[in-house]
Amino acid sequence: MRPTGKLHLGHLVGALENWVSLQHEFNNYHLIADYHALTTKLDSSEIYQNSIDMLIDWLAAGIDPAKSPMFRQSQIKEHTELHLIFSMLITQARLERNPAVKDQVRDLNIESVSYGHLGYPVLQAADILLYKGDYVPVGEDQVPHVEITREIARKFNSEYGQVFPEPEVKLTKFARLTGLDGKRMSKSIGNTILLADSPDEIQKKMQTAVTDPQKVRKNDPGRPEICLVFTYHQKFNPTEAPQIETDCRSGALGCVDCKKRAATRITDWLAPNREKRAYYESHMDKVQAILADGEAKARTRAQATMHEVRTAMKLG
């Protein structure tokens, strides 16, 4: 995950909950993709603090450092070495056909694409294959990147001998959670609820959430199937969701009360996260130690893989 600072509900639903669950089935590596962050923003002054904030959210959500090493991409030099080798195995034309990069360029209104941005999937392939990943838990928008990783693995194995597995996509369990304005949840837009938000902040933000435009007054019948707030209820208040649906359709439940109830349930849901986050924020020495330990474990694994790579290529 690219370090953009404190995480929001979309990260929790779209990735973190899945990652926590996968810890019980797989040996996981969790990469803070700080080099990737430079593809869309050259200013690196906030990357370190953003990395720490994100790491704390990972820990608060339940990522176990004993099971899942967490580390910064920039601190494992083998990422850049393998990226260079992989860049020889793929053409410019193939990278230009990647729909994920095209979508990002369009969404961020980027006028000219840098070499690093175009080659983003190649570095991502190095991120995955350096640890010989068998599965990559991603959303549907990242599937084209994983396919490029598979192609590069096949090409390397064909040229130099079998070193890398061809990783498979493991799609996340939950769909993307929509932002408070009904658009894609993004901090740059300002439509998010952060995992670190206080109960008061959550209440204030939920008041701005869009609802069914046809339900103007409390007694008006609503359409929960198109209401953003009801989507939040389904996720964070599943027990009461059926009754809320009924009361919304009949006009017995108004939007103001519905939003307040959703905010309360979200607050309750996030309570353990806030408690853990507060602990780590006041014990930064432990956060630093977890990061250092994760980077040591990742470095050992990466060095072993690169030894195999150099041997296969007869460079060692």
CATH code of domain 9-176+284-312: 3.40.50.620
CA distance 282 to 184: 32
What pLDDT score was predicted for residue 112? 77
Q: What is the pLDDT of residue 41?
A: 86
Task: Tell me how far apart the alpha carbons of residues 230 and 249 are, in angstroms, rounded to a whole number.
Answer: 11
Q: Parse the chain into domains and list their residue ranges.
A: 9-176+284-312, 199-278
Percent of the chain whose pLDDT exceeds 90: 80
**Domain 199-278, CATH class in plain words:** mainly alpha
Helix segments in the chain, DSSP class H: 9-11, 17-22, 34-37, 47-61, 78-87, 92-96, 99-107, 115-118, 120-129, 143-160, 199-206, 228-236, 241-250, 255-281, 284-312
| Rounded CA separation 123/89 (Å) | 12
d(CA 190, CA 200): 17
Q: What is the pLDDT of residues 208-257, one digit of tens each?
A: 999 999 998 989 999 999 999 999 999 999 999 999 999 999 999 999 99
The reply to whether 9-176+284-312 and 199-278 are identical in fold is: no
What is the reported pTM?
A: 0.91
The pLDDT tens digits of the residues spanning 127-153 come to 999 999 999 988 777 888 899 999 999
Question: In whole numbers, what is the pLDDT of the chain averaged over residues?
Answer: 93
Answer whether residue 173 shows pLDDT above 90: no
pLDDT tens, position by position, 79-95: 999 999 999 999 999 99
Positive or negative, the CA dihedral 255, 12, 74, 89 is negative
Q: What is the pLDDT of residues 54-81, one digit of tens each?
A: 999 999 999 999 999 999 999 999 999 9
Is residue 274 a contact partner of residue 6, using CB atoms and an 8 Å limit? no
Q: Are 276 and 301 in contact (CB under 8 A)?
A: no
